[in-house]
């Protein structure tokens, strides 16, 4: 009976997510630069689709032309089908330098028939080690799905098809690092990490399956843009009264994230006591949502 209710809830969540999803994306020609991998990164369909490929010589990657300090960043991805073991496909925000900030979506490939692992992490002032990992309730290689990083001054929310899977709150007042001051660009890449990505490195990349290709579309950054001189568009009145600027989780959102974490979370650093023998990080004892 419980599984039937859970299935009905999932269908409702997915329908609501697609009704709420925005498709107001621009052109990859205007929004990003392919930064490495040569011809393995290609902009297609007049700028509406971007593909990244990996072979045994190199992977590939791109980055946003703009840098942001708070915003809602959406991307649709269609991941590598079949045997993707050893590969990592990414979509993340990052600043530069040793004390960098970073907000990560990483998709760890697996053997044919096995599910992807969605790896999330948050770095603040160069300190990470805040991993949570999930399975998905769908095949992410069969169709495009929307992955979202919502970052405001109060919290970071990771969403999949507009369903929240993780929240990381701003607990600076409690001595917990949070990205508040360093502008970040959006980065995406496809690369080989068979030393750790699949079952801890036990399953290696099968290069007879190469090239491996992932597709991106509908990149949309509703965000505060910081220009080369450090001027923030949110301080000039260019971006005002946006939902993401104060967005948290309402009762429905809290129910959704509990459902995801109870059914699809496979690793949470806040329950990994052997990893932190001196005690769990401070935020693990604070309210989650």
Q: Which are the catalytic amino acids?
A: 102, 106
CB atoms within 10 A of CB 233: 18
CB under 8 Å to 72, separation ≥6 — which residues? 148, 149, 150, 151, 220, 221, 222, 223, 242, 244, 247
Query: What is the DSSP secondary-structure string of 27-93?
Result: -HHHHEEEEESGGGEEEEGGGTEEEEEE-SS--EEEEEEEEEEEEEEEEEEEPPPS--TTEEEEEEE
- Cβ-contact 105, 92 below 8 angstroms: yes
CB atoms within 10 A of CB 245: 19
* Length in residues, the chain: 289
- Cβ-contact 202, 36 below 8 angstroms: no
Residue 163, burial from CB neighbour count under 10 angstroms (0-12, 13-18, 19+): buried
Residue given tokens 């902009």 in the structure block: 43
Q: SS in 3 state form for 151-207?
A: ECCCEEEEEECCEEEEEEECCHHHCCCCCCCCCEEEEEEEEECCCCCCHHHCCCCCH
């Amino acid at each position: 009976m419980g599984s039937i209710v859970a299935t009905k809830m999932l269908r409702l969540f997915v329908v609501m997510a697609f009704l709420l999803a925005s498709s107001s994306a621009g052109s990859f020609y205007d929004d990003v630069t392919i930064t490495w991998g040569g011809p393995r990164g290609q902009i297609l369909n007049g700028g509406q689709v971007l593909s990244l490929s990996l072979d045994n010589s190199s992977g590939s990657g791109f980055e946003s032309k703009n840098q942001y300090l708070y915003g809602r960043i959406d991307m649709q991805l269609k991941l590598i089908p079949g045997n993707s073991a050893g590969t990592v496909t990414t979509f993340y925000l990052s600043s530069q330098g040793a004390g960098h900030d970073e907000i990560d979506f990483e998709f760890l490939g697996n053997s044919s028939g096995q599910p992807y692992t969605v790896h999330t992490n948050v770095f603040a002032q160069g300190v990470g080690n805040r991993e949570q990992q999930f399975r998905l309730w769908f095949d992410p290689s069969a169709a495009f799905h929307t992955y979202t990083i919502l970052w405001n001054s109060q919290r970071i929310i990771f969403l999949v098809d507009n369903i929240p899977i993780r929240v990381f709150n701003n607990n600076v007042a409690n001595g917990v690092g949070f990205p508040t001051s360093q502008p970040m660009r959006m980065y995406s890449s496809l690369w080989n990490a068979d030393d750790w990505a699949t079952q801890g490195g036990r399953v290696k990349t099968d290069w007879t399956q190469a090239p491996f290709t992932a597709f991106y579309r509908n990149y949309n950054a509703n965000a505060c843009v910081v220009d080369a001189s450090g001027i923030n568009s949110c301080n000039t009145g260019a971006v005002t009264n946006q939902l993401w600027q104060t967005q948290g989780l309402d009762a429905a959102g809290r129910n959704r994230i509990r459902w995801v974490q109870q059914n699809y979370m496979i690793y949470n650093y806040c329950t990994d006591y052997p990893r932190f023998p001196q005690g769990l990080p401070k935020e693990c004892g604070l309210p989650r949502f």
